[in-house]
Amino acid sequence: MLVVVIAVAVAVVLVVAWLLSRRRTPDGVDSFRRQIDALSPEARRPTIDKIKPSGDGDDPLDGNQSEGNES
Amino acid sequence: MARDLAIDLGTANTLVYMKGRGIVLNEPSVIALNRQTGEVLATGREAWQMIGRTPGYIVAVRPLRGGAITDFEITERMIRLLLQRVGVSRFTRPKVVICVPSAITEVERRAVTDAARRAGAADANLIEQPMAAAIGADLPIDEPVGNMVIDIGGGTSETAVISLGGIVALEAVRVGSFDIDAAIQNFVRREHGIAIGERTAEEIKVAIGSADPTPDENQAEIRGRDLMTGLPKTVLLTPEEVRFAIEDVVSSIVSSVIRCLSKAPPELSQDFLVRGMYLVGGGGLLRGLAERIERETEVPVRMSNVPLEAVVLGAGHVIEHYEALKGMFMGARR
Label residue B66 by pLDDT band (50, 70, 90).
confident
Asked if A50 and B23 come within 8 Å (Cβ–Cβ), the reply is: yes
Min Cα distance A19 → chain B (Å) is: 20
pLDDT at A63 over 80: no
DSSP label at A69?
-
pLDDT one-digit tens code per residue, B162-204:
999 999 999 999 999 999 999 999 999 999 999 999 889 999 9
Give the C-alpha distances (Å, rounded to integers) separating B330 from A52, B13, B38, B242. Answer: 29, 22, 34, 38
Q: Which residues contact A6 (CB under 8 A, 6 or more apart)?
A: none
Q: Which residues of A touch B138 (CB under 8 A)?
A: 41, 44, 48
Asked if A44 and B317 come within 8 Å (Cβ–Cβ), the reply is: yes
Asked if A69 and B26 come within 8 Å (Cβ–Cβ), the reply is: yes
**pLDDT: is A22 or B111 the higher one?**
B111
pTM for this prediction: 0.85
Min Cα distance A36 → chain B (Å) is: 5
B10 phi and psi, to 5 degrees?
Answer: -90, 160
Helix axes B129-136, B310-320, angle to 10 degrees: 90
Q: How many CB pairs under 8 A join A and B?
A: 112
Asked if B26 and A67 come within 8 Å (Cβ–Cβ), the reply is: yes
Q: Which residues contact B187 (CB under 8 A, 6 or more apart)?
A: B241, B242, B244, B245
**Within chain B, where are the H helices?**
44-48, 72-85, 106-118, 129-136, 177-187, 198-208, 239-263, 266-275, 289-297, 310-320, 322-325
Would you state the pLDDT for residue B333?
Answer: 57
Half-sphere CA count of B255, side-chain side, radius 13 A: 9
Q: Which residues of A touch B283 (CB under 8 A)?
A: 70
**A36: contact with B, CB 8 A cutoff:** yes
A49 phi and psi, to 5 degrees?
Answer: -70, -10
pLDDT one-digit tens code per residue, B14-44:
999 999 999 999 999 999 999 989 898 998 8
CB atoms within 10 A of CB A5: 9
- Asked if B321 and B16 touch (Cβ cutoff 8 Å), the reply is no
Strands of the sheet with B95-100, listed across from one edge: B22-28, B13-18, B5-9, B95-100, B123-128
Enclosing H/E stretch for A31: helix A28-38
Asked if A48 and B313 come within 8 Å (Cβ–Cβ), the reply is: yes
Min Cα distance B13 → chain A (Å) is: 5
CA distance linking residue B205 with residue B201, whole number of Å:
6
